[in-house]
Structure 1
Amino acid sequence: MLDVVGWVHVSGGRLLAVRARSRDLLYLPGGKREAGEDDWTALSREVDEELGVRLDQASFRGIGVVEAPAHDQPPGTRVRMACYTAEYHGELTATGEIDEWMFVDPADHHRLAPAVRAALELTR
């Protein structure tokens, strides 16, 4: 089981998603915790590394946990993603391993990794 954190940011009814280099589907900004990190620390670090923005800790709150098959991993691998929302400061910019970011809606479900499809349900 892959245990990760994801940032759920909705604007105009659409969900922010990113495409990492060499990946075919879209993911939520976020990723794995480093040793000793709590969810806030891991997510704020990952979002800064991927999108160059700072999350606002005062608005940080959990909205749910999703489990789904892990995309682009060995068969049978699952992902557990703790999902959080928070306001941010700065301008969204694809950085690091991220090639692009975009806002998606339910009609784009075929472009989303399984865990992101599940997280999309948390926004309804």
Structure 2
Amino acid sequence: MIDKIALLSFQDGRVLGARSRGKSVFYLPGGKREPGETDAETLIREIREELNVEIDPATIENAGSFEAQADGHASGLVVRTTCYLAEFSGTPTASSEIEEIAWLGHADRDRLSAVGKLIFDHLRETGLLR
């Protein structure tokens, strides 16, 4: 299993998505923890690396975990994404590993990874995503 931590950031009923260089699908910004890291430490580090913004640790709030087939991997490999809400300072900009960031709505669902689609469906059902 691939275990990832991700940020849910909303603006005008849309969620911030990121696309890595050389990839065709968007995912929620974040990534895998390094040995010994907590979820919060992973979130803070990954978001700094990917979006060049600083998360306020006091605002981090768990928003659920989602599992789906890992994109581009052999059948049976699952990715679990644990999502967090958090406030940050700065304006998100794509880092060296990110080719594109975009505010995505449910209509953009087909541009997402498999786990991203599940997350977007959940957000739509709960009224957080248009």
TM-score for the superposition, normalised by structure 1: 0.96
Which residue in 2 is equivalent to 1:12? Answer: 12
Whole-angstrom CA distance in 1 between matches of 2:62 and 2:122: 11
Whole-angstrom CA distance in 1 between matches of 2:40 and 2:121: 22
How much does 1:96 deviate?
2.4
Counterpart of 1:105 in structure 2: which amino acid? Answer: G
- 1:88-110 residue CA offsets vs partner (Å, 9 max, x unmatched): 10111100210010011111111
Whole-angstrom CA distance in 2 between matches of 1:40 and 1:54: 12
* Aligned residues: CA RMSD: 1.0
Q: Is the 8 A contact 1:64 1:122 kept in 2?
A: no
- 1:66-120 residue CA offsets vs partner (Å, 9 max, x unmatched): 0011112222211011110101101111002100100111111110001111122
Whole-angstrom CA distance in 1 between matches of 2:96 and 2:67: 26
Whole-angstrom CA distance in 2 between matches of 1:5 and 1:120: 16
Which residue in 2 is equivalent to 1:47? Answer: 47
Which residue in 2 is equivalent to 1:30? Answer: 30
Q: Which runs of 5+ in 1 are unaligned?
A: none
Whole-angstrom CA distance in 1 between matches of 2:72 and 2:87: 30
Which residue in 2 is equivalent to 1:105? Answer: 105
- 1:27-54 residue CA offsets vs partner (Å, 9 max, x unmatched): 1100100000000000110000000001
Which residue in 2 is equivalent to 1:80? Answer: 80
The correspondence of residues 62-81 of structure 1 with structure 2, limited to 5 A, is 62-81=62-81
Counterpart of 2:44 in structure 1: which amino acid? Answer: S
TM-score for the superposition, normalised by structure 2: 0.91
State the number of aligned residues. Answer: 124
**SS of aligned partner of 1:4:** strand
How much does 1:18 deviate?
0.3
Counterpart of 2:110 in structure 1: which amino acid? Answer: H
**SS of aligned partner of 1:93:** coil
Which residue in 2 is equivalent to 1:115? Answer: 115
User: Percent of pairs identical after alignment?
Assistant: 39
How much does 1:121 deviate?
3.3
**SS of aligned partner of 1:96:** coil
